[in-house]
Structure 1
Amino acid sequence: MQELLTRIRRVGFMVVIGVCVIIYIGLGIVYMQQGPKQKDLEDKIEKTMAVVKKPLPSMEQLQAKYDAVNAALEPMETPEVLKVIVGIARESGIDVNPESGKFYIPPASGSKQKEMTQRTYSVLSFDNIRAQGDFDTVMNFISNFDAGSTLETMIVRKVDLSWVQISFEEEEVMRRAEFRAVMQAVADMMKDNNLDEIPNPINFEGGVAVNELTAFPDAITTAEGKKYTGTGTPSDGYILYEHDRITADNTSDYQTVNYIDKPVTEYYYTCQADGTVRQFDGPEMETATEYYGSEEIVFETVAKLAVDLYTIHEKG
């Protein structure tokens, strides 16, 4: 009997200890959770106070906003709407010249009436507005409608995107090919001569472009500047045609190499120290036209938009 009581006391004691441990662990978990919850609550209070502390708009500001909304909803004639859409395209960088074939607005499908919030609106719809250009330009055009930057009440219903390959005229093909050849020649020359930068380039800041590749991109750096130590007479400069190359392995010798297949180009060029080449139609920077684009194949983005313009319906 005594042994049984002893066992009961021992078991009871262990049960009490177990209960205490469980309670302690539970309290510990609750305590540990209080920190994150408290921090979360403080963050929410701080954000709420930031909103509450903002001053309420004045009656003048509210009236101005109300007037602006009503002005945006004023009825517009179709020619006026077309003029605004063309303006958005032009400002976005789309070529709106009819001859380019890169922008087209079909006739409006006619005005319809739509009731919303106990008010009747006129809805002027345009389907398949077509805009073509580089991706960023087309996205700027779409974003203007989507954000309501110009016409707050014009809603984009649908956008379809596709891509088309651009065909170039023969003259443009030749221009781009020459541009690529000069850029590649400069890159090859810099790599072949272990140049991170061209010492004395004919750069844009100099105000003059050249088309003689026996003096481009650097006709100034001397043979000594190229670390020549021999007794010969290598030509000066880091040039693309008939360049006298001096290697680090043997600075007493040189080798004449061509990085391009002709000494004179049709277009004119400048080159920055880092090897960036720019192309122009003449030597004088003040009057020359700069050309962009050297890719052999170019794709442009084509967007077709369906939009609705909402205005207040005028009862006739």
Structure 2
Amino acid sequence: MAVMVIIGVCLIVYVGLAIVYLQQEPKQEELEKQINKTFLIVSKPLPSMKELQTEYDEVNLALAPMPVPEVLETIVGIARESGIDVEPAGGKFHIPPPSEPKEKKMAVGTYEIISFQGIKAQGDYDSVMAFIADLDSGKTKQNMVLKRVGLSQVEIKLDEEEAERRAEFRAVLSAVSDMMAENGITEIPNPINYEGGTATNDMMAFSDNTTTAAEKGYTGTGTPKAGYLLHQHDRIFTDNTTEFETVDYITIPTTLYYYTCEADGSVRQFDGPDIATATEYFSSKEVDIETVAVLNVDLYTKPVKE
């Protein structure tokens, strides 16, 4: 009986030691990881006095007092680099007069703060957001702090000439799309394309005046016009290829602007026939929407000691 008791005690002690051992192994691994991390940190060379002095000088330089005109020019420069029209005549960028400098005591010292309230920046979304991002990150001026941002959108009124240009562009785009759909084609065989170097305003020749009636599938005895035209186009009936009808996808035979068309139906607009010298227009939107940001910005500097 005594022997059994001794064996039982030994087993309990053995199991206890085994548990302690199993617990120690992961703890040792974790300790080794911490030691290795600490070693990596302490093994890094400390910056030299020269490097520390350089960083210190850069901080002091950034916090040096700036004349208000210089601050204004810095903000204007950030806006200009972001793609915002900063010309006064455009009315899309404005900086109200700043507040009088105020001193503020903080844990690390006393600072002089110049506040700019209600800075207005207007333009396309990407340009306005680039301006905000620069101020928010301190990319250009680290001691310039973005305090508040308000965003809105505004519809830009187009002048009559621009509105007419875009309306014509939309009409041509729509006509090409309708023509391709009604004629059952996914590609225009011989388009008057950009690569050809010449744009046209003749809608009785645009977008393709080369493809023959036979190539369009005509099998009758008539004489339908060649090509896939936007004005006075002879469309071959798909259910009876011996017949055709003349249709208009655009109501005018001659447009004010000039166009090219790719095989997939994409259209480009120009102010003249010679692509090499003509101005290309890109927007066909009925209205333009711009983003308006109103911002508050504080500039922190170290006051000059008397």
Q: Sort the TM-score into its range (normalised by shorter chain).
A: 0.7 to 0.9
Residue 120 of structure 2 is aligned to residue 108 of structure 1: no
**What is the one-letter code of the residue matched to 1:80?**
E
Residue 219 of structure 2 is aligned to residue 218 of structure 1: no
Runs of 4+ residues deviating >3 angstroms: 51-71
Residue 140 of structure 2 is aligned to residue 150 of structure 1: yes
1: CA distance, partners of 2:200 / 2:101: 59
Equivalent in the alignment of 1:308: 298
2: CA distance, partners of 1:149 / 1:309: 14
Equivalent in the alignment of 1:171: 161
Counterpart of 1:186 (choices 172, 176, 180) is: 176
**What is the one-letter code of the residue matched to 2:272?**
G
Counterpart of 2:149 (choices 159, 166, 173) is: 159
**What is the one-letter code of the residue matched to 1:238?**
Y
- SS at structure 1 position matched to 2:133: helix
Q: State how 1:203-282 maps to structure 2 within 5 Å.
A: 203-282=193-272
Residue 287 of structure 2 is aligned to residue 288 of structure 1: no
Q: C-alpha offsets along residues 223-271 of structure 1, whole Å, 9 cap, x if unaligned?
A: 2322222222222221211111123322222221110010111111222
Residue 183 of structure 2 is aligned to residue 200 of structure 1: no
The gaps in structure 1 that reach 5 residues or longer are 1-37
1: CA distance, partners of 2:286 / 2:98: 38
2: CA distance, partners of 1:288 / 1:140: 31
The gaps in structure 2 that reach 5 residues or longer are 1-25
Query: How far 1:174 moved relative to its partner?
Result: 1.1
- SS at structure 1 position matched to 2:210: coil
Q: Count matched residues.
A: 277
Q: State how 1:114-125 maps to structure 2 within 5 Å.
A: 114-125=104-115
**What is the one-letter code of the residue matched to 1:185?**
A
Cα 1:182–1:313 change in 2 (3 A) is same
Query: How far 1:64 moved relative to its partner?
Result: 5.0
Percent of residue pairs identical: 56
Measured on the aligned residues, the alpha-carbon RMSD in Å equals 3.0
- SS at structure 2 position matched to 1:132: strand
Cα 1:56–1:229 change in 2 (3 A) is farther
2: CA distance, partners of 1:199 / 1:168: 36
- Bigger drift between 254-263 and 109-118 goes to 109-118
Equivalent in the alignment of 2:78: 88
Equivalent in the alignment of 1:30: none
What's the TM-score once normalised by structure 1's chain length?
Answer: 0.78
2: CA distance, partners of 1:63 / 1:186: 68
1: CA distance, partners of 2:237 / 2:61: 73
Query: How far 1:66 moved relative to its partner?
Result: 4.3
Contact 2:158–2:287 (Cα < 8 Å) also in 1: no
2: CA distance, partners of 1:253 / 1:263: 24
Cα 1:237–1:58 change in 2 (3 A) is farther
What's the TM-score once normalised by structure 2's chain length?
Answer: 0.80
Cα 1:315–1:202 change in 2 (3 A) is farther
**What is the one-letter code of the residue matched to 1:297?**
V
